Amino acid sequence: MTNSTSDDSFLSAVKDGWLRLQTRSADVQLPSVSGLRLASHVGLILVIIGVLALTQIKPPEWRATTTSASVLPNIEPSPTPEQPVVVRVVASGGSSVKSSGPLTRAAAPFTIIPDRPRTDILEYEVQAGDTVFGIAEKFGIKPETIMWSNPVLEQNPDLLRIGDKLVILPVDGVYHKIKKGDTIAKIAKKYKVKPEAIINFEWNKLDGPDATLTPGEHLIVPGGTKPYVARTVRVYRGPIPKGAKRGSGNFVWPVSGYITQGFWNNHRAIDIGSWLGNPVVASDSGYVVYAGWDRTGYGNLVIIDHGNGYRTYYAHLSKIYVRVGDSVAQGQQIGAVGSTGRSTGPHLHFEIRYRNVQRNPLGFLR
């Protein structure tokens, strides 16, 4: 059944009701109601019935068959074959954004800027609390690269001093100072890279494998590496003192604080940040083989031999409370936290060595 048939039936029913109402009105006497008042009541009923009838009628569905520029006021004038359709989309801030093609993209409140590799060398001034590891993280390079680019840190990454100027390479590798007799092939072999890596790096400005190298100038060797050389300290090598305690092989934390630098290839120790003067204790029992000032950057240093192949190093101390030959028990105070030597803030540089091989203390401490 169609809409028009149902609408006609409904209107016919309304008409029949109206005729019956007229017939009854003619037969019934209404002494107290005037004809005008009756007509107004009837008119109101008709209006209500008409509204109800209209609500049952569905308007026809309109379908657009064509689209013109007049329907889309935000579309710019008709494009030429070389000019794509451009639609302006009003963003929330009131500005308009252009979008090509029939579909539009919502305006985004940010801009994506692609990362571009850095090609220049930077100079960084050391700040309070800096570590080689932390500086490397700032610039997205390995800490070894910073050490190999700055001779003062070559053998000791703790040789940082506030105000020092550090060379920061744009890539991981070695910053090589050219010496007399150097060739690209020799330099590449020394740092275990292919000559092309040096030649093709833009900063070096080399025109080929036979390019002239000027002594005193520098080259960046991308991906180059240097072997690790452990620092050595002259310690007591006399007979073991009588009654010297022997270590258990179990190590306790030498100081309370927080780790500011972990164990990595060229920093084979951990740095524990703490407050100046905080007590430092022996990590295990043993006897003292070094207690005093060290010129390589450790500052005030205590070394304990535990009699079982292990030695522990406690560096940058503000005070030392033991002497060479003293027997110490695990947990006994041997010094206080300081910032002596090359250090950018109060902390304890702590090493565990087994037969002079530096081990990661985090694998031993409990």
Q: Does residue 33 form part of some domain?
A: yes
Q: Does residue 230 form part of some domain?
A: no
For residue 256, report the phi and psi dihedrals to the nearest 5 degrees.
-90, 145
d(CA 360, CA 19) in angstroms, rounded, equals 106
| Mean pLDDT for the stretch of residues 350-360 | 93
Q: Does residue 305 form part of some domain?
A: yes
Q: Does residue 202 form part of some domain?
A: yes
| DSSP state at residue 78 | P
Residues 301-341: tens digit of each pLDDT: 999 999 999 999 999 999 999 999 999 999 999 999 999 88
User: What pLDDT is recorded for position 360?
Assistant: 93
Report how many domains make up the chain.
Answer: 3
Alpha carbon separation from 365 to 6, 251, 260, 275, 283 (Å, rounded): 90, 5, 16, 21, 8
Structure tokens at 358: 């530096």
Give the CATH number, domain containing residue 135.
Answer: 3.10.350.10
Asked if 317 and 340 count as a contact pair (C-beta separation under 8 A), the reply is: yes
**Tokens 């997205």 — which residue?**
140
145 and 195 within one domain: yes
Give the dihedral of Cα atoms 238, 240, 243, 247; nearest 10 deg.
140
| Mean pLDDT for the stretch of residues 110-129 | 75
Asked if 49 and 14 count as a contact pair (C-beta separation under 8 A), the reply is: yes
**94-121 burial, b for 16+ CB within 10 Å, e for fewer?**
eeeeebeeeeeeeeeeeeeeeeeeeeee
Alpha carbon separation from 114 to 57, 97, 108, 109, 329 (Å, rounded): 59, 21, 16, 17, 58
End-to-end CA distance of the chain: 88
Task: Give the chain's mean pLDDT.
Answer: 78
343 and 276 within one domain: yes
Local confidence band at 133 (pLDDT 50, 70, 90 cut-offs): confident
Inter-helix orientation angle 3-27/35-55, to 10°: 170
User: What pLDDT is recorded for position 74?
Assistant: 46
Burial class (CB in 10 A: 0-12, 13-18, 19+), 58: exposed
Q: Which of 319, 302, 315 shows the shortest CA–CA distance to 350?
A: 315
Q: Does residue 196 form part of some domain?
A: yes
User: What pLDDT is recorded for position 100?
Assistant: 45
270 and 218 within one domain: no
Percent of the chain with pLDDT over 70: 69
Local confidence band at 109 (pLDDT 50, 70, 90 cut-offs): low
d(CA 290, CA 284) in angstroms, rounded, equals 16
Enumerate the β-bridge partners of residue 353: 311, 358
The dihedral through the CA atoms of 175, 178, 184, 189 has a sign that is negative
278 and 357 within one domain: yes
User: pTM for this one?
Assistant: 0.49
Q: Of 32-36, 81-85, 210-214, which one has max mean pLDDT? A: 210-214
| DSSP state at residue 365 | B
Q: Of 55-59, 218-222, 342-346, which one has max mean pLDDT? A: 218-222
For residue 127, give the 3-state DSSP assignment. coil
Q: Does residue 183 form part of some domain?
A: yes
Check pLDDT > 50 for residue 93. Answer: no
Least confidently predicted of 6-15, 174-183, 209-218: 6-15
The range of the structural domain enclosing residue 37 comes to 3-55
| Mean pLDDT for the stretch of residues 197-205 | 93
d(CA 135, CA 168) in angstroms, rounded, equals 9
266 and 217 within one domain: no
Q: Does residue 75 form part of some domain?
A: no
Per DSSP bridges, beta strands 279-281 and 270-273 are unpaired
